[in-house]
């Protein structure tokens, strides 16, 4: 008896040539019969689409993301305001220098006028506030927890940060601290709301 060897051969072609894309079967050398295997299904036949991942974030711009974007633009505006004020008061020779302590004598912030110094501190305060607010917006957005409450809190934060700049610049006491408290409380409510 001649040993049989299992090889791949095209179903529809008697010759040994191979045509790409056609169905394949099995044939034994020395055997006139072949046992074709089922042709694999074409793309789209007998295949089901994978289930959608649960809790996918909504790709649209949420109110919280809008408020965060506007808060970022507010920070850019504050940075420009501080830069222009510092250059007008101190001159570019100091503001564009490497700011070495031996050359300046004391930090630039201490050389600014009281009101310009307040603008500088208000800008730095908003950098700190933006960290927590950004965290709250990201958590609310990625968890699909956006509600009218979180949206209202986001814009309350933005309004508080806008009012905080003139309140700090004018030295309004205790209003500056109360306005800051509104922004902080709004951010806290957003974080808690994401967990409920």
Query: Domains (ranges, CATH) in the chain?
Result: 6-36 (no CATH), 63-195 (1.20.120.550)
8-state DSSP, 144: T
SS3 of 36-88: the string is ECCCCCCCCCCCCCCCCCCCCCCCCCCHHHHHHHHHHHHHHHHHHHHHHHHHH
Highest mean pLDDT among 29-38, 55-64, 83-92: 83-92
Q: HSE (CB half, 13 Å, CA atoms) of 46?
A: 4
8-state DSSP, 9: E
pLDDT at 15: 47
38-47 average pLDDT score: 55
Going by pLDDT thresholds of 50, 70 and 90, the confidence category of residue 134 is very high
> Taking 80 as the threshold, does the pLDDT of residue 72 lie above it?
yes
Kindly give the residue spans of alpha helices, DSSP state H, lying in the chain.
Answer: 63-90, 92-95, 101-104, 108-111, 114-142, 148-170, 175-195
Specify the higher pLDDT residue, 14 or 68.
68
CB atoms within 10 A of CB 187: 24
> Taking 70 as the threshold, does the pLDDT of residue 71 lie above it?
yes
CA 22 – CA 18 distance, rounded (Å): 9
Going by pLDDT thresholds of 50, 70 and 90, the confidence category of residue 108 is confident
- Three-class SS state of 161: helix
Q: Tell me the percentage of the chain whose pLDDT exceeds 90.
A: 56
Taking only the tens place, the pLDDT of each residue in 20-35 is 444 444 454 555 555 5
Tell whether the torsion through CA atoms of 79, 81, 86 and 87 is positive or negative.
positive
């Amino acid at each position: 008896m001649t040993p049989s060897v299992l090889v791949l051969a095209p179903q529809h072609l008697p010759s040994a040539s191979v045509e790409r894309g056609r169905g394949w079967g099995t044939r034994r050398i020395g055997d006139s019969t072949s046992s074709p295997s089922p042709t694999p299904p074409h793309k789209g036949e007998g295949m089901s689409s994978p289930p959608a991942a649960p809790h996918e974030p909504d790709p649209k711009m949420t109110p919280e993301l809008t408020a965060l974007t506007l808060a970022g633009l507010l920070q850019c505006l504050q940075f420009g305001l501080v830069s222009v004020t510092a250059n007008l008061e101190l001159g570019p020779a100091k503001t564009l220098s490497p700011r070495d302590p031996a050359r300046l004598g004391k930090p630039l912030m201490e050389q600014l006028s009281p009101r310009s110094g307040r603008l500088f501190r208000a800008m730095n305060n908003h950098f700190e506030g933006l960290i927590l607010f950004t965290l709250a917006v990201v958590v609310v957005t990625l968890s699909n927890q956006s509600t009218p409450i979180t949206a209202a809190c986001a814009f309350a934060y933005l309004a508080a940060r806008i009012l905080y700049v003139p309140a700090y610049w004018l030295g309004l006491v205790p209003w500056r601290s109360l306005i800051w408290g509104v922004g902080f409380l709004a951010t806290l409510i957003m974080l808690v709301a994401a967990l409920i």
